[in-house]
A and B are shown apart, each in its own frame.
Chain A
Amino acid sequence: MKKKNKRLITILIFMTFFTFGCAILLFNLRENLIFFYSPTEVFEKQIETSQMIRVGGMVKEESLVKKIKTIEGRQLEEISFVITDFENELVISYIGILPDLFKEGQGVVVEGFLKNVDKFVAKTVLAKHDENYMPPEINDIKSIKDKKI
């Protein structure tokens, strides 16, 4: 009887810890999720400017522009390009070196913040290992699928 009680208590303690741990885990998960949108969804949904999101689509042909900007006394190159899902477009601006596999007319995913209704400041432009590889996220955007077929 006593031994049984002891086991029961141990199990209960473990269960409590486990539930507590899971609660923290899920709460943390919710806080740190990064949602992925297509340009059309960016327009349709209300997205806060403080929320980090990912946007994916095709880089519009001949949309890549490089501009020199002076920030804090240093000359920097601001890169801007347009992401399209063939329904809507979104202008992306980015400071940094573009990944090697970045090309106009190819799929891209950027991570960053929405500044205006039609301007997005990217913190990261995601590169992939393979030039023929299309991120599944982009593949799922319906209008791009239709266009490709």
Chain B
Amino acid sequence: MISEIGFVFLTLTLVISSFSFAQLIYSHINSRLFVLNHLKITNLIFFFTLSSFISLTYSFLISDFSLNVVAQNSNSQLPIIYKFTGVWGNHEGSILLWLLVMTFFGFLFSKSSSATEEFKNNVLKIQNSLCFLVVSFIIFTSNPFEKSFPYPIEGGDLNPLLQDPGLAIHPPFLYLGYVGFSIIYSISVAALSDGVKNYFIKILKPWVFISWIFLTCGIGLGSWWAYYELGWGGFWFWDPVENASLLPWLTASALLHTIVVADKKKIFINWTIILSILTFILSLLGTFLVRSGVLVSVHAFANDPTRGVYILLLLASISFFGIFKYINKNIQFRRADITLISREGMISLNNIFMLSLTFTILVGTIYPLFASVLFNSKISVGAPFFNSILMPVMFPFIAGMIIGPYTKWGKDDLIVLLNRIKILILCFFIISLSVWYLNYKTPILSIIFIALGCWIIFSSLFEVYQFINKKLTVPKKIFAQITAHIGIGLLIIGATGSSILKQEKIQFQEVGQSLKIKNFDVEFLGVKKIEGPNYISQMGVFSIKKQGEQIKILRPEKRFYNAGKQVTTEAAIHSSIFGDLYIAIGDVHEDKTKWTTRIWFNPFTIWIWIGVFFLASGGSLSFLNSLSRK
């Protein structure tokens, strides 16, 4: 019963959002034909989608197996939390969540006070039309309320790999980021035809920050999940699905820098619009790659090529609409003359690098698609390609990141600039030497990257020092930038440690046997049998000792899920600021006294997550700043 109501609400969303869509198409023929209040439509479709989503959630919670999605992706034994998160642990439900977030952003925008009613109306007309495209996609290709008769008494199971707290937080955050870019697209496209000139930049700014923060957190959480889940290739695998999320993040980061200049100097307005449109297109491309299964990915689940065709159509029409509007734009922008050694110049340089990276990663990601169509050969582009491309780009990029904040707006002189930061350059030498001294045994590449990470952190701290030295308080804007840049520095250190410096040991370990890795002694105490709510687990018990003293007990597991007859390996991790001890347990040896154990030491990994936290904090500070200055 509840599920029928859910479907009715979804249909209502389709019908009502179609008004906005009709007017958007019609307005090109006759703009005075009829005038609609798109704000009301936005509110209605948000309410209807929310109700529909709640109905689906309810069906999952009561295990209504008459719904196909519930029957395939849930089970009555499933813990309540996974019944709930199972709503978006499948294709249909996750697209409904996508729609919910999209209507939610429209709803938030309709409540914001920054824009005029007329401009809001124009933006929401586009936003509602986007919602129309998505809701029609849901109803025609992936209806979550589809029923089957007779229905099963017991459901399949939620994929055990997805029965993890990661599923509760990673997709919602990622979607808030991805879909947040839809409102940025709507604002930019609306601004193109309205001729509101520079006024829209102030409206756009907070939305750019908020979406970027969510996407950053979403990627960070996904990375963390992939790190502790064995078999997903660690924190970053250069998997197509991971790359797909990085592409809009890179362009959004470029946008983040550009919009600051656009707001302050009223230049780069054109470029801001292009980046906004591009970012949303890349978000959609990501969805297409993830959902259609055209590329081989470890993170691919529940995909279907027929849906891919629809998403591709969606992608094409939204891109063409954006480009069409851009070509027929109603506004002329001031051409800017900028020099390289200036703040504007440095930010342009940042954008060039960000976009080069985006282009490179895009080529690497979709090249296998072209190869399979053009040369009929099946290939994959692995991590070595991305690493070899990324490394040379990193050096000028980091150099720009360090010098950038010290340049002046307008025009600056290189000699004067270098003179201003001469103490900093001296400090760089000292830092590099100390990093080398502390790690001289490790590969040269890791020393370089850790030193570069330290450079960024130190140069950011030096900015703070300069303000304090002049007895000034650090302006909020600068403080946000410093926080985010420190985040990047920490990220580089963490990523270097976790990839280049990691140590692995794999062996048969007897009960009672102790192994040494780094400065830890890992003693294997035995295996216990544990019964979970819907699985049976073999839990290894390891005592971690440092200089003879026990500091922690780690319990990696091997779980057997009853419903799907599946096995999962749950690693156990001991984190510290110097590195993570990561243990996984395998099969028992024939003589029943030895087990395959796999032990890693991943230096500095924790700094990746701390770095992401710094990035998100920096973004949040900028967001609050952009709200308060209105």
Whole-angstrom distance between the Cβ of B283 and the nearest chain A Cβ: 21
CA distance A31 to B364 in the complex (A): 12
- On chain B, the residues within 8 Å of A101 by CB distance are 566
Q: Which residues from 11 to 42 on chain A have a C-beta closer than 8 Å to any C-beta of chain B?
A: 21, 24-25, 28-29, 31-37
Cβ of A54 within 8 Å of any chain B Cβ, yes or no, is yes
Q: Do residues B598 and A75 form an inter-chain contact, with CB atoms below 8 A? A: no
The answer to whether A140 has its CB under 8 Å from any CB of chain B is: yes
Pair B299/A129 contact, Cβ less than 8 Å: yes
Q: How far is the CA of A135 from the CA of B363 in the complex (A)?
A: 22
By the criterion CB–CB under 8 Å, are A32 and B507 in contact? Answer: no
Q: Tell me if A148 counts as interface (CB < 8 A to partner B).
A: no
Q: Which of A81-89, A91-99, A112-120 lies at the binding interface? A: A91-99
How far does the alpha carbon of A54 sit from the alpha carbon of B378 in the complex, in Å?
Answer: 10
For chain B residues 275-316, which have a beta carbon within 8 Å of chain A? 293-294, 296, 298-302
- Interface positions, chain B 574-591, Cβ under 8 Å from A, are 584, 586-587, 589
CB distance from A112 to the nearest CB of B (A): 12
The answer to whether A136 touches B381, judged by C-beta atoms less than 8 angstroms apart, is no
Q: Report A-chain residues with C-beta under 8 Å of the C-beta of B294.
A: 136
State A146–B231 Cα separation when bound (angstroms). Answer: 30
Contact of B389 among A28, A54, A109 (CB under 8 A): A28
Q: Does A121 contact B (CB under 8 A)?
A: no
- A130: chain B residues within 8 A (beta carbon): 159, 300-302
Q: B377–A21 contact, CB under 8 A?
A: no
Pairwise interchain contact A32-B388, C-beta atoms closer than 8 A: yes
Q: Cα distance A99–B231 when bound, in Å?
A: 6
- Please name all residues of chain B whose beta carbon is closer than 8 Å to the beta carbon of A28 when the two chains form the complex: 385, 388-389
CA distance A101 to B569 in the complex (A): 10
Q: Is the CB of A34 within 8 A of B299?
A: no
B507 touches A29 (CB 8 A): no
Residue A47 is within 8 A (CB to CB) of chain B in the complex = no
**B506, CB-defined interface residue at 8 Å:** yes
Known contacts A29-B364, A36-B379, A97-B586: does B508 contact A76 (CB below 8 Å)? yes
Instruction: Identify which of A21, A24, A25, A129 contacts B159 (C-beta below 8 A).
Output: A129
Bound Cα distance from A68 to B508, whole angstroms = 9
**CA distance in complex: A109, B231 (Å):** 13
- The reply to whether B296 and A135 contact each other, CB–CB distance below 8 Å, is yes
User: Among B231, B382, B508, which residue has its beta carbon within 8 angstroms of that of A100?
Assistant: B231
In the assembled complex, A126 has its CB within 8 A of some CB on chain B? yes
| A74 CB–B CB distance under 8 Å | yes
CB distance from A128 to the nearest CB of B (A): 6
Q: Which chain B residues border A128 with CB–CB below 8 Å?
A: 298, 300-301
> Does A25 lie within 8 Å of B360, measured CB to CB?
yes
Closest chain-A Cβ to B364's Cβ sits at a distance in Å of 7
Contact present for A140 and B378 (CB under 8 Å): yes
**Contact call B566/A131, Cβ cutoff below 8 A:** yes
**A59 CB → nearest B CB, Å:** 15
B484 to chain A, nearest CB (A): 27
A15 CB, nearest partner CB in chain B, Å: 14
Bound-complex Cα distance A66 to B589 (A)? 9
Cα separation A140 to B596 with both chains bound (whole Å): 35
How far, in Å, is B355 (CB) from chain A's closest CB? 11
A77 contacts B by Cβ under 8 Å? yes
- The 8 Å CB contact of B296, one of A33, A35, A136, is A136
Contacts A25-B389, A131-B159 given; indicate if A32 touches B381 (C-beta within 8 A): yes
A36 to chain B, nearest CB (A): 4
Contact status B378-A76, CB under 8 Å = no
Closest B residue to A127 by CB, please name it.
Answer: B231
Query: Please, how many angstroms separate the alpha-carbon atoms of A28 and B367 in the complex?
Result: 12
Chain B positions within 8 Å of A127 at CB level: 231-232, 298
Q: Is the CB of B300 within 8 A of A100?
A: no
A100 to B568, CA, bound (A): 5
Task: From the candidates A21, A34, A75, A100, name the one contacting B507 in the complex (CB within 8 A).
Answer: A75
Q: How far, in angstroms, from A109 to B378 measured CA to CA in the complex?
A: 13
Q: Is B610 an interface residue (CB 8 A)?
A: no
Q: Are the C-beta atoms of B356 and A97 separated by less than 8 Å?
A: no
B138-185 contacts to A, CB under 8 A, are 159, 161-162
Q: Please tell me which one of the listed residues A37, A96, A126 contacts residue B598 in the complex, with CB atoms under 8 A apart.
A: A96
Residues of A within 8 A of B384 (CB): 31-32
Known: A97-B596, A135-B296, A136-B296. A35 touches B377 (CB 8 A): yes
For A104, the chain B residues whose CB sits under 8 A away are: none
Is B567 positioned at the interface, with any CB of A under 8 Å from its CB?
yes
Interchain CA distance A8-B367 in the complex, whole Å: 32
- Across the interface, do A100 and B596 meet the contact criterion of CB distance under 8 Å? no
Q: Is B410 an interface residue (CB 8 A)?
A: no
Asked if B396 is at the interface of the complex by the 8 Å CB criterion, the answer is no
- Residues A76 and B507 in contact, CB atoms below 8 Å apart: yes
Q: In the complex the two chains form, what is the Cα distance from A136 to B297 in whole Å?
A: 10
The answer, yes or no, to whether B564 is at the interface (CB within 8 Å) is yes
Residues 386-416 of chain B, each 1 if its beta carbon lies under 8 Å from chain A, else 0: 0011000000000000000000000000000
The smallest C-beta distance from A75 to any residue of chain B, in angstroms, reads 5
Q: Evaluate contact between B508 and A77: CB separation under 8 angstroms.
A: yes
Q: How far is the CA of A31 from the CA of B383 in the complex (A)?
A: 12
Kindly state the separation between the CA atoms of A135 and B298 in the bound complex, as whole angstroms: 9
Q: B626 interface residue, CB < 8 Å from A?
A: no
Inter-chain contacts of A29 with B (CB < 8 A): 363-364, 367, 381, 385
Query: Shortest beta-carbon distance, B225 to chain A, in Å?
Result: 12
CB-defined contacts of B360 to chain A, threshold 8 Å? 25
Complex alpha-carbon distance, A96 and B54, angstroms: 44
Contact B380 A54 (CB under 8 A): yes
Contact between B301 and A133, CB atoms less than 8 A apart: yes
Across the interface, name the chain B residue whose C-beta is closest to A124: B233
A contact residues vs B (CB 8 Å cutoff): 21, 24-25, 28-29, 31-37, 52, 54, 66, 68, 74-77, 95-97, 99-101, 109, 126-131, 133, 135-137, 140
List 19 additional contacts besides A31-B385, A109-B296; criterion CB under 8 Å: A25-B389, A28-B385, A28-B389, A29-B364, A29-B385, A33-B381, A35-B379, A36-B380, A75-B507, A75-B594, A77-B586, A97-B230, A99-B231, A127-B298, A129-B301, A130-B301, A131-B159, A136-B293, A140-B378
A–B complex contacts, Cβ < 8 Å, 13 sampled: A28-B385, A31-B388, A33-B379, A36-B378, A77-B586, A77-B589, A95-B506, A97-B587, A100-B568, A129-B299, A130-B301, A136-B293, A137-B296
3 A-B pairs with the lowest CB-CB distances in the bound complex, closest first: A32-B385, A36-B378, A129-B301
